[in-house]
Structure 1
Amino acid sequence: MKYIKPANMFREMDMIKQADIVLFPETWQVPALVYGLKKTIFPSVETLQIGYSKVETTRALWAIAPQVVPYTEILASTPGNRAKVLESFPISFVAKENRNSMGRGVFLIRNEEEFYQYAQNNEVLYIQEYLPNDGKDLRICVVGDRIFTAYWRVGTDGEFLHNVACGGQLCYDFIPQDACELVLQLAKQLNINHAGFDVMISNGRIYILEINVLFGNQGILARGLSLEEEIYQYLIRTYLSPYPTAPNSVNKIIS
């Protein structure tokens, strides 16, 4: 296995051309690797493109399963669109930054002043209805072609965000099977093979809030699982020759 800094990509073309698989390329590298060099990459092209931003994720889900997306408006941050949001969404509603993670850039808007502050700092308005919930959401992790693990993220009393990075607690009990089945179905349909799906159950319905390509590992480590081993086994059985020759013939690059 060889690690190449993304900045050195074009200095290491010979090594990249010899690679069987390129692991975790940055988004800007994908066109050169896939369309230019015809390389196999992991995660898949679809995973990287759909998970690149909340806007891309939402539009992909709108196309195949609009019923799992909370009511959402994606608009340019113009005066007219700001007025439209305030006319369309009752206070309180959710506003998100297009690209962010670990709960950063997600806001519960409780008044017009909070909304205008958000709108001034974002060129794209990503606005969603607020979903009533019981203070928790699900993180369902897909690796390869299966659910790797799933757990609840339980927020502290009165907190809007449930992310572990924001103080949420982990719970592995009573994971709803129908939510896992839905996530796996969507992942297969979209060819997503490495992502953490954030799922909310509200009024008996399942909603997909976000799809994160690079998801936190706290919930994985707490269960004593190895994400690296799961990825390795998936790559071996999916892209490379069967045992026993495959482990000795792999030229992998993390880029």
Structure 2
Amino acid sequence: FDRELMLDLSAPTAVAAGIAVDVVLDRCVAHSRAGYTLRTLERWGIPTLNTASAVHLCDDKAENTLALEAADIPTPRTILAYSVETALRACEVVGYPAVLKPVTGSWGRLLAKVNGPEQARAVLSQKQALGSFHHGIFYIQEYVPKPDRDIRAYVIGDRVLAASYRTAKHWVTNAARGAISTPCPITPAIESLALHACAAVGARLAGVDLIETPDGLKILEVNTGGEFRGLLTTTDVDIADEIVAEAICVAHRGAIATLAGSPM
């Protein structure tokens, strides 16, 4: 859909731009496109799931972490740096092994666990040489020991609809990297933390990644573009149907807000 979409930014309304819809469900994996599109649609008064603000906070790992920290949600210690030398000092602060992540990206790509300064310098220098703006922002995170698994909790509206363990021998336990999904019970702790994390970023449709640590559960990140193919093998819940139901609720709330003359 987004490949064929034209957004006339000078149009006063969606109808004037040739777009006549009640609600827009964002499932675009290209978050930059999603952000521009959602902001434009919101300007025209079209309700969206998720909002442009939520997508922005979840597309950028630094923004995601800031939102979680502001809400006092447990998350691994993270430091931002803008030069290789400063990033190396940050690695010393969080301790080795340290985890280096791009501030934008998905599917567990371009993550590195570095075990010492020599390895860290090699990875950081390579990132810097790539030249793009985002590769010059170094996101350094403490490595938190965990079982060979993480937890993906899928949140729709005000409910944790389903959860799964994602198990792999590799330290990156991501379904896109081959992790095996198995059922995970939705405990009160998982439910509470996942819902609070979504509230922190304003998301009503999200995949929340949690890890089990000796100090309890921690949130890695909230994904507004959370995919659920792996989760489907672990639950009888019709996730797609629930997503559509939530989109309809968003449309109804938007219509009521419009009639009342208030913002959505």
**Common topology (TM > 0.5):** yes
Q: Find the aligned partners of 1:83 and 1:73 in 2 and give their Cα distance.
A: 11
1:102 alignment partner, one of 107, 121, 126? 107
Q: Find the aligned partners of 1:114 and 1:7 in 2 and give their Cα distance.
A: 44
Is residue 74 of structure 2 the alignment partner of residue 68 of structure 1?
A: yes
Retained in 2: the 8 A contact 1:22–1:41?
yes
Q: Find the aligned partners of 1:146 and 1:197 in 2 and give their Cα distance.
A: 12
Residue 248 of structure 2 corresponds to 236
Aligned residue for 1:153, secondary structure, equals strand
Residue 119 of structure 1 corresponds to 124
Q: Structure 1 residues 4, 168: closer, same or farther in 2, change over 3 A?
A: closer
Report 1 or 2 for greater relative contact order, CA contacts < 8 Å, sequence distance ≥ 6. 1
Residue 171 of structure 1 corresponds to 182
- Uncovered stretches (5+) of structure 1, i.e. residues with no partner: 242-255
What TM-score results when the alignment is normalised by the length of structure 2? 0.79
What TM-score results when the alignment is normalised by the length of structure 1? 0.82
The answer to which of 55-64 and 226-235 deviates more is 226-235
- Uncovered stretches (5+) of structure 2, i.e. residues with no partner: 29-33, 128-134, 254-264
Residue 246 of structure 1 corresponds to none
For residue 125 of structure 1, what is the amino acid of its counterpart?
A: F
Retained in 1: the 8 A contact 2:39–2:52?
no
Deviation at 1:187, TM superposition (A): 1.8
Deviation at 1:53, TM superposition (A): 1.2
Residue 159 of structure 2 corresponds to 146
Deviation at 1:189, TM superposition (A): 4.6
Residue 7 of structure 2 corresponds to 9
Aligned residue for 2:105, secondary structure, equals coil
The answer to which of 133-142 and 22-31 deviates more is 22-31
Retained in 2: the 8 A contact 1:220–1:226?
no
Aligned length: 234
The answer to which of 131-140 and 113-122 deviates more is 113-122
Deviation at 1:228, TM superposition (A): 2.5
What does 1:22-41 align with in structure 2 at a 5 Å threshold? 22-24=24-26, 26-35=34-43, 37-41=44-48
Residue 136 of structure 1 corresponds to 149
Deviation at 1:32, TM superposition (A): 2.0
Q: Deviations over 1:103-155 (max 9, x none)?
A: 11221111323312332212111111111112111001112221121111111
